[in-house]
């Protein structure tokens, strides 16, 4: 027990080769994902409508965003408008290029946050990045764009915030912290997690931001709620905003109102709990117990089981890490790795709480990204703590278990890439039928709207044709669309 | 080798293999090859049969004639149908939207062709396409005849060969 409760492996001297290898690997897999992202056109769904809105003036756009109902996201639109104006009409290059750049920034920040120090760390890094890319919560940050993926923006800001919060104090950290909070919170609601990251890090002993900086963040948080609820009366999303998963299916807004309209407390509680469990087990997803339903109906897909094994095994690894460190934590002795795992727990709780109005996997993407951070940290600490030798049978089982867990994440990462390739076809097919589907929905376009639609449609179909479809061996295992 | 190192290797090996696979696809596509590629349509009939609307439009834009009979690989429609026009092949996509798209592109000429296609849709058992092409119902169809006519092209092509 003494050994089990011993302090986390003392920080090794930083091996420059390990650090270089880690960054090189991260950028390589980021570029590979970027290649697949460039196979996607600008989408019809979620992007075309937004782009029509961007053709207006800055003042109209921002005024409208501060005075609308349910959502306060002015910087989301400012970000879109900026790239729209800069593009000069070359929308594909700019918007798809921004998405690729976002992925590259994300992987670099991931490595900067977990700080691989040794060659063993560098060896474990691919596993951490596989968890980052393979999580079901990550899929929505790459498969969709609006035409910039806001959730990806928040992931980047969250990782940047954690780096500042856990870093050495410098006077400008306070300013950066406040800028990050303002940028994130006015982009999308999950941006409020930036506040949780700074305060949470301080609670576990990190001193990257001063007390004055934390006080400033508290004032900004209060200011956010004042602007949202008192000044502009934006409010928060109600049951009628969108469909949401519940139990074994998805309920439409009308069903939600009929079922929970009088007292939505239980529904909100369901959303919070299932959102948190979703990150830890990949079941339920988006509020729907798909695997459970499949088990009940005896229609279990192997991909479902692989997902469950993958996520649950990482949760167990993180749990074991926390268990080994429990005495130190009780004594409030935290090192950087402890803080990273504690941050994951705090972000998971806060992220799930923010998800109370409705469940959607991508909303939990910050918790999913910190799950990948915690996975890496837990593994790099647990591996050196294993005994050098075990009885052959036990050792063989341990190696087999490692192979199975890693195999499940390999499958998920391939699935992530395959889904992007499938999306390349799905999105282009949508453009083919754009005119008829908009007409069926009763959407009337002005001449300039129609011009933009034809431009984007031609760009998706003729200028940037889809890359080849992929049919890798064992596709059935990969669980792609 | 120490056990922690062996387990670290086991944790990385499958992911490294997956990464190599993904990188080989990226590198291959960058140099114009297509590793692990699925079916890429070679003409408008194949694109229609696979339900790839965007590629179909590109073939038509490039000047392919939707009324012309094209060779179709056996894995796309069936091993018995190896030659088909674009609209005929579109039946196997089982997408009424594809038929409507071809209609908009001028690929269906007149009532006679429409009726013949409705009979083919009935033989292939795609109710919504039948309903779209013949809202009043198909009347002059001999069950199986339209399908046999399309299949006959394959056998006659085989005989000529």
Q: Looking at residue B90, what is its pLDDT? A: 96
| Whether A402 and B11 lie within 8 Å, measured CB to CB | yes
Give contacts of B32 with chain A, Cβ < 8 Å: none
Are the C-beta atoms of A89 and A143 separated by less than 8 Å? Answer: no
Q: Looking at residue A217, what is its pLDDT? A: 98
Asked if B58 reaches chain A (Cβ–Cβ under 8 Å), the answer is: yes
Distance (Å, rounded) from C-alpha A355 to C-alpha A290? Answer: 19
Q: Looking at residue B77, what is its pLDDT? A: 94
| Whether A414 and B6 lie within 8 Å, measured CB to CB | no
Asked if A196 reaches chain B (Cβ–Cβ under 8 Å), the answer is: no
Distance (Å, rounded) from C-alpha B148 to C-alpha A145? Answer: 47
Q: Looking at residue B159, what is its pLDDT? A: 56
Q: Looking at residue B158, what is its pLDDT? A: 58
ipTM of the complex: 0.90
Retrieve residue A208's tokens.
């990257």
Query: How does strand A244-246 pair with strand B70-71?
Result: unpaired
Q: Please enumerate in sequence order all residues whose Cβ is within 8 A of that of B109, keeping only pairs 6 or more positions apart, or say none.
A: B67
| Whether B18 and A461 lie within 8 Å, measured CB to CB | no
Give contacts of A411 with chain B, Cβ < 8 Å: 18
Distance, CA of A185 to chain centre? 16
Q: Please enumerate in sequence order all residues whose Cβ is within 8 A of that of B61, keeping only pairs 6 or more positions apart, or say none.
A: A462
Q: Looking at residue A345, what is its pLDDT? A: 98
Asked if B16 reaches chain A (Cβ–Cβ under 8 Å), the answer is: yes
- Enumerate residues 452 to 481 of chain A having a beta carbon within 8 A of any beta carbon in chain B: 460-462, 465-473
What percent of chain B shows pLDDT beyond 70? Answer: 97
Q: Looking at residue A388, what is its pLDDT? A: 86
Helix (H, G, I), strand (E, B) or coil at A244: strand
Nearest to A403 among B14, B54, B55 (CB): B14
Q: Looking at residue A1, what is its pLDDT? A: 38
Q: How far is CA A256 from CA A230, A243, A317, A398, B130, in A?
A: 27, 8, 37, 47, 38
- Enumerate residues 366 to 385 of chain A having a beta carbon within 8 A of any beta carbon in chain B: 379, 383-384
**At what angle are helices A365-385 and A265-281 packed, to 10 degrees?**
40
| Whether B26 and A405 lie within 8 Å, measured CB to CB | no
Query: How does strand B83-84 pair with strand B70-71?
Result: antiparallel
Eight-state DSSP code of residue A93: I
Distance (Å, rounded) from C-alpha A288 to C-alpha A113? Answer: 32
Average pLDDT, chain B: 91
Give the dihedral sign, CA A170/A174/A180/A181: positive
Give backbone dihedrals phi and psi of B81, rounded to 5 degrees, phi first. Answer: -120, 100
Are the C-beta atoms of A370 and A376 separated by less than 8 Å? Answer: no
Distance from CA of A68 to the nearest CA of B (A): 37
Helix (H, G, I), strand (E, B) or coil at A156: helix
Are the C-beta atoms of A113 and A159 separated by less than 8 Å? Answer: yes
Are the C-beta atoms of A164 and A114 separated by less than 8 Å? Answer: no
* A77-91: pLDDT as tens digits: 999 999 999 999 999
Where helices occur in A115-149 by DSSP H, the ranges are 119-134, 136-143
Asked if B75 reaches chain A (Cβ–Cβ under 8 Å), the answer is: no
Averaged pLDDT, groups of 10, chain A, 481 residues long = 45 84 98 97 92 90 81 91 95 97 98 95 96 97 94 98 97 97 96 98 96 97 93 77 87 88 89 96 92 91 90 97 96 96 98 92 97 97 90 93 96 95 94 89 90 95 93 66 50
**Half-sphere exposure at residue B22, Cβ-oriented, CA atoms within 13 angstroms:** 29
Nearest to A406 among B15, B39, B61 (CB): B15
Are the C-beta atoms of A202 and A224 separated by less than 8 Å? Answer: no
Residue B40's closest CA among A472, A421, A468? A468
Residue A399's closest CA among A376, A383, A411, A415? A383
Distance (Å, rounded) from C-alpha A325 to C-alpha A340? Answer: 13
Are the C-beta atoms of B88 and B71 separated by less than 8 Å? Answer: no
Q: How far is CA A90 from CA A37, A83, A94, A96, A113, in A?
A: 17, 10, 7, 10, 34
Eight-state DSSP code of residue A282: S
Q: What is the DSSP string of B12-33?
A: HHHHHHHHHHHHHHHHHHHTT-
Asked if B80 reaches chain A (Cβ–Cβ under 8 Å), the answer is: no
Distance (Å, rounded) from C-alpha A319 to C-alpha A312? Answer: 10
Asked if B20 reaches chain A (Cβ–Cβ under 8 Å), the answer is: no
- What is the number of helices (H) and of strands (E) in chain A? 22, 2
Asked if B18 reaches chain A (Cβ–Cβ under 8 Å), the answer is: yes
Q: Looking at residue A472, what is its pLDDT? A: 80
Q: Please enumerate in sequence order all residues whose Cβ is within 8 A of that of A363, keeping only pairs 6 or more positions apart, or say none.
A: A151, A190, A275, A351, A354, A355
Q: How far is CA B3 from CA A71, A380, B34, B83, in A?
A: 53, 14, 40, 60
Distance, CA of A58 to chain centre? 29
Asked if A171 reaches chain B (Cβ–Cβ under 8 Å), the answer is: no
* B103-128: pLDDT as tens digits: 998 889 888 889 999 999 999 999 99
Q: Looking at residue A5, what is its pLDDT? A: 43
Q: Looking at residue A235, what is its pLDDT? A: 78
- Best residue in B41, B54, B100, B107 to probe A by mutation, most A CBs within 10 Å? B54
Query: How does strand A244-246 pair with strand B83-84?
Result: unpaired
> b/e string for A402-413 if b means 16 or more Cβ within 10 A?
bbebbbbbbbbb
pTM for the model: 0.92
Q: Please enumerate in sequence order all residues whose Cβ is within 8 A of that of A392, keeping only pairs 6 or more positions apart, or say none.
A: none
What's the N-to-C CA distance of chain A in angstroms? Answer: 47
- Best residue in B1, B2, B7 to probe A by mutation, most A CBs within 10 Å? B7
* B46-55: pLDDT as tens digits: 999 999 999 9
Apex A101 CA angle, A95 and A102, nearest 5? 90
Asked if B42 reaches chain A (Cβ–Cβ under 8 Å), the answer is: no
Beta bridge partners of A470: B37
Query: How does strand A249-251 pair with strand A244-246?
Result: antiparallel
Asked if B4 reaches chain A (Cβ–Cβ under 8 Å), the answer is: yes
Q: Counting Cβ atoms within 10 Å, is residue B28 exposed (0-12), middle (13-18) or buried (19+)?
A: middle
């Amino acid at each position: 027990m003494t050994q089990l409760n011993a302090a986390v492996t003392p920080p090794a001297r930083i091996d420059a080769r390990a650090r270089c290898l880690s960054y090189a690997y991260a950028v390589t897999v980021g570029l590979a994902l970027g290649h697949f992202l460039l196979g996607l056109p600008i989408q019809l769904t979620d992007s075309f409508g937004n782009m029509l809105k961007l053709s207006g003036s800055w003042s109209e756009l921002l005024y409208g965003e501060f005075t609308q109902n349910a959502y306060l996201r002015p910087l989301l639109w400012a970000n879109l408008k900026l790239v729209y104006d800069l593009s000069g009409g070359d929308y594909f290059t700019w918007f798809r290029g921004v998405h690729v750049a976002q992925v590259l920034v994300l992987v670099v920040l991931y490595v900067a946050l977990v700080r691989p120090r040794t060659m063993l760390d560098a060896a474990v890094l691919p596993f951490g990045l596989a968890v980052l890319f393979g999580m079901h919560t990550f899929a929505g940050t790459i498969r969709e764009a609006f035409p910039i993926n806001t959730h990806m923006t928040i992931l980047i800001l969250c990782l940047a915030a954690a780096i500042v919060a856990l870093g050495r104090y410098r006077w400008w950290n306070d300013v950066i912290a406040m800028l990050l909070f303002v940028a994130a919170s006015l982009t999308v609601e999950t941006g409020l997690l930036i506040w949780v990251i700074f305060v949470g890090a301080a609670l576990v002993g990190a001193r990257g931001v001063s007390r004055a900086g934390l006080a400033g963040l508290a004032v900004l948080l209060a200011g956010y709620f004042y602007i949202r609820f008192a000044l502009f009366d934006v409010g928060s999303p109600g049951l009628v905003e969108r469909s949401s998963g519940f139990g074994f299916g998805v309920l439409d807004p009308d069903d939600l109102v009929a079922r929970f309209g009088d007292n939505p407390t239980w529904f909100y509680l369901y959303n919070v709990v299932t959102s948190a469990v979703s990150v830890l087990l990949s079941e339920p997803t988006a509020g729907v117990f798909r695997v459970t339903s499949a088990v009940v109906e005896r229609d279990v897909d192997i991909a479902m089981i692989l997902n469950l094994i993958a996520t649950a095994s990482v949760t167990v690894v993180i749990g074991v890490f926390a268990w080994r460190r429990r005495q130190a934590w009780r004594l409030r002795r935290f090192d950087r790795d402890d803080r990273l795992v504690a941050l994951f727990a705090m972000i998971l709780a806060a992220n799930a709480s923010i998800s109370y109005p409705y469940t959607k996997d991508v909303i939990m993407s910050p918790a999913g990204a910190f799950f990948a951070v915690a996975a890496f940290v837990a593994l790099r600490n647990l591996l050196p703590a294993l005994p050098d030798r075990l009885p052959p049978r036990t050792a063989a089982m341990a190696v087999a278990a490692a192979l199975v867990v890693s195999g499940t994440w390999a499958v998920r990462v391939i699935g992530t890439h395959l889904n992007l390739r499938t999306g390349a076809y799905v999105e282009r097919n949508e453009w083919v039928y754009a005119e008829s589907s908009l007409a069926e929905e009763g959407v009337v376009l002005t001449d300039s709207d129609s011009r933009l639609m034809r431009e984007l449609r031609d760009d998706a179909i003729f200028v940037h044709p889809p890359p080849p479809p992929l049919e890798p061996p064992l596709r059935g295992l990969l669980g792609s669309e | 080798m120490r056990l922690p190192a062996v387990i670290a290797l086991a944790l990385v090996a499958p992911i490294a293999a997956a990464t190599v696979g993904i990188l080989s696809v990226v590198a291959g596509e960058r140099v114009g090859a297509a590793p692990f590629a699925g079916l890429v349509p070679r003409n408008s009939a194949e694109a229609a049969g696979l339900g790839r609307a965007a590629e179909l439009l590109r073939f038509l834009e490039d000047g392919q004639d939707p009324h012309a009979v094209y060779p179709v690989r056996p894995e796309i429609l069936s091993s018995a149908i190896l030659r088909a026009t674009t609209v005929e092949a579109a039946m196997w996509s089982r997408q009424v939207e594809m038929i409507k798209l071809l209609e908009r592109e001028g690929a269906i000429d007149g009532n006679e062709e429409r009726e013949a296609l409705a009979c083919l849709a009935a033989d292939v058992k795609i109710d919504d396409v039948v309903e779209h092409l013949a809202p009043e119902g198909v009347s002059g169809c001999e069950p199986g005849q339209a399908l046999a006519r399309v299949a006959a092209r394959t056998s006659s092509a085989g005989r000529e060969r």
